[in-house]
Each structure stands twice: as C-alpha cells, then as structure tokens.
Structure 1
Amino acid sequence: MRNPYSPTLRLRRLATELKQGREHANLTVAQAGTALGWTASKISKIETTETKRINPGDLDKLMDLYEITDPDKRRAMHALARDAKERGWWSKYREVFGDQALPDFEAEASAIRSFEGLVIPGLLQTPEYAEALFQGGRYTGPEDIERRVQARISRREILTRFDPVWLRVVMDEAALRRMIGGPRTMAAQMRHLLYMAQLPNIDIQLLPFDVGSHAALVAPFSILEFPDPLNAPIVHVGTVTDSVFFEQPGDVERYNATFGDIQGTAISTSQTATFIDDLARSLESTP
C-alpha cells in the first residue's frame, strides 16, 4: 500500500517544530549546540532538513532542552521522525523523478493549480498519450519508456483516492492541438479529459489561441498547497534535466498572481468542455 503522506513534508514539519521550540526557549543555534555538546552545524542541518534522519535519542535530547514536555506533542514529533524515514512508492522510480520527486509533495497536497502550455498535464495523461510523448524525446529503450509511463500514471491516484487532491488546470490551446501519437491517441486523450473534468475535484480551463498574449507565456508550473499550515505552498517548475521548487513567499506569490491572471483570461470550464468535445469528434472522424 502506498504511503498517503510525504516523507519530505513530514521531515520539514519536524524541522519547523524543532526550530520553533529552540526559539521559544530563547536559544541560538550555537547555544543549543553547546548545551547538548553538539556543533552548531548539527543543529542547523536538522532545522534546514539537510539531516534526513533524526534518531529518537537525539530528538528526545532536543525536546528536553527546549522544554517540550507535553506527552502528546512528543509522541507526535516522534511520529513525524518515523514517517520521515519511510520511502514512498516513487522512490523506486528515482531515475525518472530525480532526488526531489514531485510525487513526494503531491502525495500530501490538498490543492494543485497547474499551467501547461505545450502538452496535456501529466496528472491528466492517458498511458498511450504518455508513451507517445516519451517516444518523441531522445532515443531510449522500450523498457525505459515503459518505466516512465508507469511512473507518470501512478501519480494519477491522488485524483481519485478517498480524499482526493483539488486540481485546477489551465492549458494553452497548443496543448490540445499538438498531435501526440496520432488522431486515435489524441481522441482518447480528449475523452479522458472530459471524463476527468466531470469529477467534482477537477476543473479544466482553456486559453484559446485567439486570446493572444497572456501572463503565462513561460515554462509550465504547478502551485501545491498543503492542509497543514506549517507546510507553506511551493511551486514546481519542470526543466529538461530536473525539477525546480520555489518556496520563498515572494516567489510563490508571483506565481499565484500569474495563475490568477490566466484563470481570468481562460474560457470557462463548460466552454472548455465543449471545445474539447468538438475536438474529440473531429479527431474521431479522421480517416
């Protein structure tokens, strides 16, 4: 069974709790290190999540120093430390997702707002579309492509689980017009989009060509929000070689503003559904 949470977020939450505990105890990083006979660097690495594993003994010492005495609070912090050691399902696809895996954050997200300019967003792709998409890149063997497709399709579970992610997507018309895999593959992809758009937790909006210039003529991006207030929103931007995550409030706010702009420019969800249905019918009638 897949973990319903993000080990990375659990580690970040624990680090935040420990930093707040130190500050409430009116201790600097250096003072905390001296009191425990540790280096200031060790305290700093724990608080910045550079240290990926915090053993129970060290955690107890930190909580004792910071006078965190509430039994429930201590149990909760130990639970965070244990959860942070777990490996999510995406760890077996490390060669696909890299060291900072987007699914690690998606697993615990409560809402995702995503813009895509050239292709169908990964969370809404069919296996056939994803396979054709990967075949268009640099040559790799069929086994590698199959792994990539499996990894991408596995991400979709967050949309249909018991407590699904709230997904808001804005796509440029180019994402629908680009012929990936041929008419049959594209027609099936359009029908899948229409099916997903009927789910109460998913909204899909289109930016038609005729709107001209818009605020998101940039790289695709996603804004992820989390239910726990200790986990601040983050922005994910995919690149050719890796994933980039922006966490500074100013950066996140700029992406929030951009997404708000393109949502206002895009046509409505019902108009988008009509557009996609017309396109699907056209593709289905292609010889």
Structure 2
Amino acid sequence: MKRSYSPTVRRRRISAQLRKFRKQEGLSAAAAGEKLGWAQQKVSKIESGEQKRIPPAELDALLDIYKVTDPQVRDALHECARLAKQRGWWTKYKEAFPGGLPDFESEASVIRSYEAQVIPGLLQTPDYAEAVFRAYKLREDAEIKRLVEARMERQHILNQVGPPDFTAVIDEAALHRLVGSEEVMRMQLRHLTHMAARHNIDIYVLPYRAGAHAATSGSFTIMDFPDPMDTSVVYVETPTSTLYLEEDEEVREFNTMISRAQSAALSPTLSLKLVEETITSLEE
C-alpha cells in the first residue's frame, strides 16, 4: 500500500520553519507583519497553522524579509505549502476522527501507545471495534458501520510501504474484559498474536501484578516523525474532546510515563504467552 501524506504535518512543518527564520532575523510577528503591510496577527496565524493555506506570493514575501535566499530551501517550502492544501483520505470520515488523528499517524515513523481498557484501535478486529462503538453510546447501525469502516481504513498505515514502528503497552485488563462475546474476544486476541509477529510491531502486556505504575492516569499515544522539523505529538482522547500536546516539557513527561510502563510490563515473548493463555481460557 502507498504511503499517505498529511497536510496537517506539512502545515506544522512550514509554520515551524517560518517561525525559526523570523526569530533568526530578530523580528517579532507583529514587526514582520508591519514590514509587509499585513493585517495585525496575520503572521501569527500563519505560524500557528490557523491560516491553513499560504499563497505562493505571501510565502515569497515572508522569505524575502527573512532573507532566505537559498533556492533549494525556498522550493522545498513552496512544495510543502502546496502539499498542505491537499486533503487526506480521512476527511471523508470527519465524524469518526474529530481530532484528525490519522493526519499525524500517516506520517509518523514511531507510534507508542498505552491502552488501559481496550485493545488499541490500530490492532482491533472489525467485530471488536463494533462492540466498542456500541458500548460507548446508542448509535444507529449505519453510523456504527461507518465508524468501523473508518477504523479499519486507519489501520492501513501498518501495511504501507515503510510502515511506522508501533509499540503498544496494553493493560492486562484489556485481555480479560469481555468485549462483544467470547467468540469476538477469541478472534481479537488471536489477531493480536498475528500482529505481534510483524517486524514493526511490539506488544507489551502490563500485568496486574505490576501494581500502581507510571501510566495510571489513562490511555495516550505518542507519535514521532522522521523529519527533525516535526516535533513529537502526544494524543490524548477524552469523552468530549481530543488533545494534542507538543510542548517539549509535556512530551518529555509522556515519554517518561510510557518508558516506565513498558519497563514494568512483560517482555513481548511473555506478553504473547499471556495472550495465548487467555485465548485458551476462553476456549474451555
């Protein structure tokens, strides 16, 4: 499968680069805008990504006052701005991804996830995902079908050329919680063993006996990107909203949390053994 590209990541990239160039020139956002005769806050909106499209003429004007003359750098930023206008496949599933999670997953080189209650979405079977969606709130069958379809489509990033490395730390509770039915659980756990065999996927089970651990605050996902201009992002989902955290201090905190949770978890080999034992218990 071909690799998807994210307009959101490109907007972040070009915004970060323009902010860097402005600071190198010792200009405030207001001063840069004043030099160009632009409305107040326009430069700030470009740098924050609030302005989703940067016309070529505006980009050239910014690069001129920032004294960026290298043609390769300018061409690269123009290409970045052009790609930032494109729409990803996930835009047709806006109701399924209100926070635009696939926007970031599609370009991540490393994804690390801690799940406290259920199997991570990237590893769910259709039947398991359907049961999860039905448990959340009353929905029409057509809506459930579309949500499941969107989740399965999202999983294709693990099949693309150059897939991300995915590390999932899963609380043991997720293995034992009966989601859907015993048959649904058996199929889901069996699928987990199949996914664990892939070279780019590592599954760690955090056993009950680990007791209190660093990630007791709840589930989250950390995404790292191959381009050094793209800072890591932490994704946290709540019942009413989605949060993207990218400040250095915040990312460091979550990195520490998942590292400690992973250290407290069983090794991938022992984790797989526990999954197999759970499957056996469901067959008795």
Task: Tell me the TM-score normalized by structure 1.
Answer: 0.95
Aligned AA (1:219) = G
- Distance apart, 1:219 and its partner CA: 1.6
CA distance in 1, matches of 2:86, 2:116: 35
Identity %: 45
> Which residue in the other structure is 1:247 paired with?
246
- Distance apart, 1:211 and its partner CA: 2.0
Secondary structure of residue in 2 paired with 1:136: helix
Structure 2 residue runs without a partner (length 5+): none
Alignment of 1:49-60 (within 5 A): 49-60=49-60
CA distance in 2, matches of 1:180, 1:238: 20
How many aligned positions are there? Answer: 284
Alignment of 1:255-270 (within 5 A): 255-270=254-269
| Contact 1:114 1:169 (8 Å CA) reproduced | yes
Alignment of 1:31-42 (within 5 A): 31-42=31-42
Q: Which moved more, 1:208-217 or 1:222-231?
A: 208-217
- Distance apart, 1:25 and its partner CA: 2.5
Secondary structure of residue in 2 paired with 1:231: coil
CA distance in 2, matches of 1:148, 1:253: 32
- Distance apart, 1:186 and its partner CA: 0.5
> Which residue in the other structure is 1:234 paired with?
233
Aligned AA (1:51) = Q
> Which residue in the other structure is 1:83 paired with?
83
* RMSD of aligned Cα (Å): 1.4
* CA deviation vs aligned residue, 1:147-203 (integer Å, no higher than 9, x gap): 110111111111121101101111111111110111111111111100000101110
1:122 aligns with 2:114: no
1:67 aligns with 2:67: yes
Structure 1 residue runs without a partner (length 5+): none
CA distance in 1, matches of 2:36, 2:56: 15
Cα separation, partners in 2 of 1:121 and 1:130, compared to 1, 3 Å: same
> Which residue in the other structure is 1:222 paired with?
221
| Contact 1:180 1:186 (8 Å CA) reproduced | yes
> Which residue in the other structure is 2:168 paired with?
169
Secondary structure of residue in 1 paired with 2:223: strand
Task: Tell me the TM-score normalized by structure 2.
Answer: 0.96
| Contact 2:10 2:80 (8 Å CA) reproduced | yes
> Which residue in the other structure is 2:110 paired with?
111
- Distance apart, 1:3 and its partner CA: 6.4
| Contact 2:3 2:160 (8 Å CA) reproduced | no
Cα separation, partners in 2 of 1:263 and 1:152, compared to 1, 3 Å: same
